[in-house]
């Protein structure tokens, strides 16, 4: 028992220290959007916002886009078969702002996933030099669009994708969303993504700016119409075709609150994790065990070690707890990830483990009433 506790505590401590180093490494190798001088009157830009039952988000999203300092902008919201007030809210905004319009996505064709079809419809007939795809749960600051256009112009980029600040407010968000965010921020190898000689690519789905000619050249979202992780797949197509991809951090310029409930977290990440795990079921227990040791271990192991009289394990476990708290503080100072209520990590780790198992099931998963797997 004592040996087992020592091994688990050592793994927990090692994983916490490694996580701090990886997040720091990615932070320093992800260019900061704040460093880009904002362009106010650049090439024409069409912002496309796919929206399906987004009444709680769409108004604030469009208002924030409309408040941008960037001048050459149109905003097109694609209503993807909403049954709530999404379209009516956008029409009310459009009545005050002629730059805003709402279009219907129409019937979902066979072989397409809903969001992919909606953004493709939104891009139809566009003449602007740049196309920006933004999710309804994103909020941009007034300088954000100008800075992104500036980054694209100066870097001669065909795709600029930006990591926003990931917000978490509710109980379950604080428990689980923060853990998933840490895993995502550590998993993305920024140096490789920004290296045009390296094959690794990534698109941050909530915010992707395309130069239109490159978007059309790779077939746009029609080329990834059945892909669940369409942001990754379209970024891979673009980079592998020889186009320039830039990945930035924009935690001071835009934010996203992805899921505001336990049900939303489970459904959303089950959808997102389904694709990578459905062909590698063997890895699910390993990944689930890893994140349980990493996030629950620092809180569960200290009392277990003390109760067992395993002093070496106790010291290691308390070291893991200290490293976990230091890591949460560092994630706040760098990626602006909330440090609130870190003691919820064991509960969040259990939720994430459940999501991993659910995502790996060999049957379709659904999102907003539609199958996606």
pLDDT at 367: 66
The count of structural domains within the chain is: 2
Last residue of a domain, one of 256, 291, 318: 256
pLDDT in tens, 42-86: 999 999 999 999 999 999 999 999 999 999 999 999 999 999 999
- My answer on whether 20 and 56 are in the same domain is no
Residue 99: CATH number of its domain: 3.90.550.10
Q: What's the rounded mean pLDDT across residues 191-198?
A: 96
Query: What is the rounded average pLDDT for all residues in the chain?
Result: 94
- My answer on whether 43 and 179 are in the same domain is yes
- Residue 4 burial (CB count, 10 A): 12
- My answer on whether 189 and 303 are in the same domain is no
Q: If pLDDT is split at 50, 70 and 90, which confidence band does 362 have?
A: low
Q: Which helix (H) or strand (E) holds 79?
A: strand 73-79
pLDDT in tens, 276-327: 777 677 788 888 898 999 999 999 999 999 999 999 999 999 999 999 999 9
pLDDT in tens, 83-95: 999 999 999 999 9
Q: Which residues pair with 79 in a beta bridge?
A: 51, 104
- My answer on whether 21 and 39 are in the same domain is no
**Which range of residues forms the domain containing residue 249?**
31-256
- My answer on whether 279 and 330 are in the same domain is yes
- Residue 226 burial (CB count, 10 A): 12
- My answer on whether 252 and 282 are in the same domain is no
pLDDT at 272: 82
- My answer on whether 112 and 226 are in the same domain is yes
- My answer on whether 125 and 225 are in the same domain is yes
On whether the CB atoms of residues 180 and 331 are closer than 8 A, the answer is no
- My answer on whether 235 and 301 are in the same domain is no
Last residue of a domain, one of 210, 228, 256: 256
Q: Is residue 364 over pLDDT 60?
A: no
Last residue of a domain, one of 235, 256, 277: 256
Q: Is residue 142 over pLDDT 60?
A: yes
- My answer on whether 202 and 296 are in the same domain is no
Q: What's the rounded mean pLDDT across residues 172-199?
A: 95
Q: 79-103 burial, b for 16+ CB within 10 Å, e for fewer?
A: bbbbeebbbebbeebbeeeebbbbb
């Amino acid at each position: 028992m004592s040996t087992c506790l020592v091994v688990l505590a050592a793994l927990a401590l090692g994983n916490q220290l490694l996580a701090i180093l990886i997040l720091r490494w990615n932070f320093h190798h992800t260019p900061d959007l704040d460093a880009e001088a904002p362009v106010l009157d650049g090439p024409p830009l069409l912002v496309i916002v796919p929206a399906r039952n987004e009444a709680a988000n769409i108004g604030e999203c469009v208002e924030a886009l409309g408040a941008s300092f960037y001048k050459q902008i149109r905003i097109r919201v694609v209503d993807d078969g909403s049954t709530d007030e999404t379209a009516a809210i956008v029409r009310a905004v459009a009545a005050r702002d002629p730059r805003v319009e709402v279009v219907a996505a129409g019937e979902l064709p066979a072989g397409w996933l809903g969001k992919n079809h909606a953004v493709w419809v939104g891009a139809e007939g566009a003449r602007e030099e740049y196309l920006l795809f933004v999710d309804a749960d994103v909020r941009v600051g007034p300088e954000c669009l100008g800075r992104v256009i500036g980054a694209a112009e100066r870097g001669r980029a065909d795709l600029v994708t930006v990591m926003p600040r990931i917000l978490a407010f509710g109980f379950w968000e604080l428990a689980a969303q923060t853990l998933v965010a840490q895993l995502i921020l550590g998993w993305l190898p920024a140096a490789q993504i920004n290296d045009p000689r390296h094959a690794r690519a990534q698109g941050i789905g909530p915010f992707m700016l395309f130069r239109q000619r490159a978007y059309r050249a790779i077939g746009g979202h029609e080329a990834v119409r059945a892909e669940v992780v369409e942001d990754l797949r379209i970024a891979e197509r673009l980079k592998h075709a020889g186009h320039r991809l830039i990945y930035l951090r924009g935690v001071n310029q835009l934010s996203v609150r992805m899921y505001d409930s336990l049900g939303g977290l489970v459904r959303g990440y089950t959808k997102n994790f389904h694709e990578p795990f459905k062909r590698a079921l063997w890895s699910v227990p390993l990944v689930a065990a890893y994140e349980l040791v990493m996030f629950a271990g620092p809180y569960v192991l200290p009392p277990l070690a003390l109760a067992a009289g395993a002093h070496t394990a106790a010291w290691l476990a308390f070291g893991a707890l200290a490293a976990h708290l230091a890591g949460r503080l560092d994630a706040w100072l760098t990626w602006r990830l909330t440090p609130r209520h870190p003691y919820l990590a064991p509960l969040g780790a259990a939720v994430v483990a459940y999501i991993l198992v659910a995502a790996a099931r060999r049957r379709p998963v659904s999102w907003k009433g539609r199958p996606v797997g």
